[in-house]
Structure 1
Amino acid sequence: MNSQHLIGVAAILMITGLLRVNAEEIGGGQLVWLLLSEGVKQQFVPSPATSVSQVQPKPAVVQARKDAHSCEVLQWDRDKFNKPVMGIFRPGKYCLDQDYEFDCSFFNHGCAGQMIEIRASNVDLDFRGHTLRMSGTRGYIGVWGLGQNIRVHNGRIQGAGLGVTLMNRGASPGNAYPVLEVKTKDVFSDTGFVVEHMQFSDVLTAVEVAGSGNRIRDNVIDARLDAKAASGLPFALLSYGPSARIEHNTFRLHDLTPGSSGYAMYLRSADGTVVEGNTVRVDDTPTGTIGVGLSSSKSVVLRRNRIDTEKSVELDRRSSMIQ
């Protein structure tokens, strides 16, 4: 017997049962409504083969789409989020196809977070010349990443409190801020982060990375050394961990808080790091500015850098360098 005959039999049985109900208990209109609704339910009852797992919930972050250049295009789900939120949760090549801007007004209390969040290893993020622009807030991060072998390149970040921060489990750049004591138990895995060909403008900090074997090169960094807005002594770049290469970056420093100190580059636990071919200049008075700060960092190589700060290098007693 097919499904149509079964539905017909069910309807006849239902009618028979309903006709036994006292007419005073159920009106004619109600009777018609019950018959119709029962028929509708019979038509739309899911078959036993249908699984609940087959119904896919709406993803928390909009799915990226492939473009002609074999990268997944990140997109802001404007219907779900009132500020740019884009996530990367698996390895692969990703890119932007437009600029993104976030203006956080005084009345908006959600002025912290990150525009792009990476929680995966082996990720290549190509801005393709586009810009992440933030205004009205310094609590926002351009790119935040947790993993290994993450590359961020070919774009611009403007107005952020922090442009790019990359780390792996075991060590965080936040553990190495100049005001904090040296941590001896942090473990530096081979992270291999790369930040290159990026332009940072009007940021408090452009780049901070933690791990071993990272590369920060060929970037243009315009940073405000504003001690009142930063967490402790301000810096434009922080590298936490050994064997990094910081090469051919151009720094422009300004707005240093009077009576404070600030660093273009601050390195901690950076044994064997190479700092080469960088240019550092200060727009206003150089008083209090430091080109390279070394904390618990041995055998750091400094060569062919042009540093126009009050103090080119500052070392603590646990540090040494090779020029």
Structure 2
Amino acid sequence: MDTYDAWKNFENIEDKDTTAILGQCWRVFDAIDDYVTILDLDKRIISANHSLLEGFQVELSRIANCKCYEALWDRDENCAICPVEKVLHDLKTHTIEVENRRMGKTFVISASPIFDDNNDIVGMVHVTKDITDRKKSENALIQVRAQLEARVAERTRELTILNERLYAEIAERKKAETGLIRRSAELDLKSKTLEEANIALRVILRAREDDKNELEDKVLANMKKLVLPYLEQLSMSHLDESQRACVSALQANLEDLVSPFSQRLSSPLLNLTPREIQVANLIKEGRGNKEIARFFNIALRTVEFHRENIRKKIGLVNKKVNLRSQLLLF
């Protein structure tokens, strides 16, 4: 039994026009990717969308009129952090983030009140969004940053040791110059050793800087290519206010993470916007303008506009150079 049939059974609607309108509404309700349930004031499930039924592998007939925590989480009592309790208390929308270790997933859970024409609460909408992939991406970024910091710390330790050795040798040299003037040959040898140590020190410093720059290049390039374009698409999807705020916060935090080194990079592709990077990737795959327009569901003129911007940013203005051939070089 789908949610539309379940709603008809609960409400016993007889008017065909009303039934048709509600049918359309509940088909939209079923199309939502997030897990959505409608609860009464006793936290009993009135209805649930297709995503929830499929995700929990249950039928609506089995969970209808059951407490949500009994039907979905196999608990004997309400969850201590459940936002539904807060909604009943202050009649406002509440959102929490929960890690479900049994399912191995992380969710953002929100609950919002439903009011009747007299502005009295008659039920609640409970939305559970799976953010497991997003959390994995965040953890991956944290690991990359930790690795970078570990490498910097290791290089710093190496430089400290080399500096200590250098200072020790300099002190020994001064002592030898004061008391052992006749040992000029030995001092010359020590001077040569110090020169070699200085060369090695410069090499290590240069290698450290190169390694750090390479890692920063990769982090920023992967961020713009693999993360930001999909965050942009996510931000343009049908999100509620709290979800949109989470996406905006994530975008801002990611930009803060890479901003200390983003201005130093020289690759022309890093100047592209997330959408331009997506278009450039499809051009590299040999996709035509019409195919790209269908892929993103945008106008052909918009694709042409993105192509022109890409040519400008990689230095192909007024040049008879194939854009795809040039992109394949990066």
TM class, shorter-length: under 0.3
Richer in strand (by share): 1
- Structure having the higher helix fraction is 2
TM-score (norm 2): 0.21
Larger radius of gyration: 2
